[in-house]
Amino acid sequence: PGVVAMKQKLRTKVWWPGIDKDVDTLVKTCHSCQVVGIAPHPEPMSCRTLPESPWTDIAMNFLGPLPTGEHLMVVIDYYSRYMEVQQVHGGGNNEKSLFRSYYHSIRNRVLPLWLAQILTTDNAPTFSSIEFQQFCKNNDIKLFNSPPYWPQTNDAVE
Protein backbone atom coordinates (compact mmCIF):
# COMPACT_ATOMS: atom_id res chain seq x y z
CA PRO A 1 0.00 0.00 0.00
CA GLY A 2 0.98 3.61 -0.33
CA VAL A 3 1.90 5.96 2.49
CA VAL A 4 -1.67 7.12 3.17
CA ALA A 5 -3.17 3.62 3.13
CA MET A 6 -0.41 2.26 5.36
CA LYS A 7 -0.90 5.06 7.91
CA GLN A 8 -4.67 4.48 7.96
CA LYS A 9 -4.29 0.73 8.51
CA LEU A 10 -1.71 1.18 11.25
CA ARG A 11 -3.79 3.79 13.09
CA THR A 12 -6.71 1.36 13.39
CA LYS A 13 -4.48 -1.11 15.28
CA VAL A 14 -1.52 0.73 16.86
CA TRP A 15 -0.10 4.16 17.60
CA TRP A 16 3.24 5.55 18.75
CA PRO A 17 4.86 8.99 18.73
CA GLY A 18 6.34 9.70 15.30
CA ILE A 19 4.25 7.10 13.43
CA ASP A 20 3.86 9.38 10.39
CA LYS A 21 7.60 9.99 10.10
CA ASP A 22 8.39 6.28 10.53
CA VAL A 23 5.90 5.23 7.84
CA ASP A 24 7.26 7.88 5.43
CA THR A 25 10.81 6.61 6.00
CA LEU A 26 9.77 2.97 5.61
CA VAL A 27 7.95 3.56 2.31
CA LYS A 28 10.82 5.65 0.89
CA THR A 29 13.36 2.90 1.67
CA CYS A 30 11.19 -0.11 0.76
CA HIS A 31 12.16 -1.44 -2.70
CA SER A 32 8.80 -3.17 -3.27
CA CYS A 33 6.91 0.00 -2.31
CA GLN A 34 8.91 2.01 -4.84
CA VAL A 35 8.40 -0.51 -7.64
CA VAL A 36 4.61 -0.74 -7.29
CA GLY A 37 4.01 2.79 -6.03
CA ILE A 38 2.66 5.67 -8.05
CA ALA A 39 5.28 7.17 -10.34
CA PRO A 40 6.22 10.77 -9.61
CA HIS A 41 4.56 13.34 -11.79
CA PRO A 42 6.70 14.60 -14.65
CA GLU A 43 8.15 18.04 -14.30
CA PRO A 44 5.81 20.63 -15.83
CA MET A 45 6.73 21.53 -19.36
CA SER A 46 8.14 24.95 -19.93
CA CYS A 47 7.53 27.00 -23.03
CA ARG A 48 10.27 27.69 -25.49
CA THR A 49 11.02 31.32 -26.06
CA LEU A 50 9.96 32.43 -29.51
CA PRO A 51 12.94 32.95 -31.80
CA GLU A 52 13.45 36.47 -33.08
CA SER A 53 13.88 35.50 -36.72
CA PRO A 54 13.19 32.54 -39.01
CA TRP A 55 15.51 29.52 -39.14
CA THR A 56 17.59 30.50 -36.11
CA ASP A 57 16.00 27.87 -33.82
CA ILE A 58 15.18 24.59 -35.53
CA ALA A 59 14.42 20.95 -34.77
CA MET A 60 15.72 18.07 -36.85
CA ASN A 61 15.14 14.33 -37.11
CA PHE A 62 15.51 11.46 -39.56
CA LEU A 63 12.60 9.25 -40.61
CA GLY A 64 13.23 5.83 -42.03
CA PRO A 65 14.48 3.74 -43.53
CA LEU A 66 11.63 3.79 -46.02
CA PRO A 67 10.80 0.60 -47.97
CA THR A 68 12.97 1.94 -50.81
CA GLY A 69 15.97 2.30 -48.49
CA GLU A 70 16.01 6.10 -48.35
CA HIS A 71 15.56 8.22 -45.26
CA LEU A 72 13.77 11.53 -44.89
CA MET A 73 15.40 14.34 -43.00
CA VAL A 74 12.81 16.60 -41.39
CA VAL A 75 13.78 20.14 -40.37
CA ILE A 76 11.22 22.41 -38.67
CA ASP A 77 11.61 26.11 -37.96
CA TYR A 78 10.33 26.96 -34.46
CA TYR A 79 9.64 30.55 -35.56
CA SER A 80 7.24 29.87 -38.44
CA ARG A 81 6.60 26.11 -37.99
CA TYR A 82 7.63 25.74 -41.63
CA MET A 83 8.85 22.24 -42.41
CA GLU A 84 11.49 21.21 -44.92
CA VAL A 85 11.82 17.55 -45.84
CA GLN A 86 14.89 16.31 -47.70
CA GLN A 87 15.16 12.81 -49.14
CA VAL A 88 18.50 11.29 -48.20
CA HIS A 89 19.97 8.53 -50.35
CA GLY A 90 22.53 6.16 -48.95
CA GLY A 91 23.41 5.66 -45.36
CA GLY A 92 21.92 2.17 -45.45
CA ASN A 93 21.41 0.82 -41.97
CA ASN A 94 24.38 2.76 -40.60
CA GLU A 95 22.74 5.78 -38.99
CA LYS A 96 26.07 7.49 -38.37
CA SER A 97 26.57 7.86 -42.12
CA LEU A 98 23.15 9.47 -42.65
CA PHE A 99 24.38 12.96 -41.90
CA ARG A 100 27.33 12.49 -44.26
CA SER A 101 24.90 11.39 -47.01
CA TYR A 102 22.67 14.40 -46.29
CA TYR A 103 25.60 16.79 -46.29
CA HIS A 104 26.89 15.54 -49.64
CA SER A 105 23.44 15.58 -51.25
CA ILE A 106 22.73 19.25 -50.41
CA ARG A 107 26.16 20.86 -50.17
CA ASN A 108 25.43 23.00 -53.24
CA ARG A 109 22.01 24.11 -51.99
CA VAL A 110 21.28 26.80 -49.45
CA LEU A 111 19.15 25.18 -46.77
CA PRO A 112 17.95 26.51 -43.42
CA LEU A 113 20.37 24.31 -41.47
CA TRP A 114 23.20 26.68 -42.35
CA LEU A 115 21.35 29.60 -40.71
CA ALA A 116 20.61 27.83 -37.43
CA GLN A 117 21.91 29.13 -34.13
CA ILE A 118 20.04 26.58 -32.00
CA LEU A 119 19.34 23.01 -33.09
CA THR A 120 17.25 20.46 -31.19
CA THR A 121 17.63 16.76 -32.02
CA ASP A 122 17.10 13.41 -30.37
CA ASN A 123 19.91 11.14 -29.21
CA ALA A 124 20.07 9.01 -32.36
CA PRO A 125 23.54 7.87 -33.47
CA THR A 126 23.19 10.18 -36.46
CA PHE A 127 23.30 13.22 -34.21
CA SER A 128 25.93 11.89 -31.84
CA SER A 129 28.38 11.19 -34.66
CA ILE A 130 31.69 13.04 -34.67
CA GLU A 131 30.90 14.50 -38.10
CA PHE A 132 27.63 16.02 -36.91
CA GLN A 133 29.18 17.39 -33.72
CA GLN A 134 31.99 18.92 -35.78
CA PHE A 135 29.49 20.40 -38.24
CA CYS A 136 27.63 22.13 -35.39
CA LYS A 137 30.87 23.40 -33.89
CA ASN A 138 32.17 24.73 -37.23
CA ASN A 139 28.89 26.56 -37.89
CA ASP A 140 28.46 27.96 -34.34
CA ILE A 141 25.26 25.98 -33.79
CA LYS A 142 24.25 25.37 -30.18
CA LEU A 143 23.07 21.77 -30.02
CA PHE A 144 20.33 20.56 -27.67
CA ASN A 145 19.56 16.85 -27.38
CA SER A 146 16.27 15.64 -25.99
CA PRO A 147 16.66 13.48 -22.87
CA PRO A 148 16.61 9.71 -23.46
CA TYR A 149 13.09 8.25 -23.47
CA TRP A 150 11.55 11.75 -23.46
CA PRO A 151 10.85 12.59 -27.12
CA GLN A 152 8.36 15.32 -26.14
CA THR A 153 11.31 17.69 -25.97
CA ASN A 154 11.64 17.44 -29.72
CA ASP A 155 7.90 17.09 -30.36
CA ALA A 156 7.86 19.22 -33.50
CA VAL A 157 9.62 16.55 -35.55
CA GLU A 158 8.89 13.35 -33.64
Determine the distance from the C-alpha atom of residue 1 to the mean position of all C-alpha atoms in its chain, rounded to a whole number. 33
Name the CATH code of domain 57-154 (choices 1.10.1200.10, 3.30.420.10, 3.90.950.20, 3.30.110.70).
Answer: 3.30.420.10
Instruction: Write the pLDDT tens digit of every residue in 9-65.
Output: 999 999 999 999 999 999 888 888 878 777 777 767 677 788 999 888 988 888 878
* Cα gap 45→69, rounded to integer Å: 36
Instruction: Write the pLDDT tens digit of every residue in 88-138.
Output: 776 555 655 666 666 665 554 545 666 788 988 888 877 888 878 888 888
Query: Which whole-number Å values give the CA distances from 78 to 47, 53, 121, in the listed order?
Result: 12, 10, 13
CB 24 within 8 A of CB 41: no
> Where in the chain are the domains?
3-36, 57-154
* Cα gap 158→117, rounded to integer Å: 20
Sequence-ordered alpha helix ranges (H) in 37-94: none
pTM (2 decimals)?
Answer: 0.61
The confidence score (pLDDT) of residue 21 equals 94
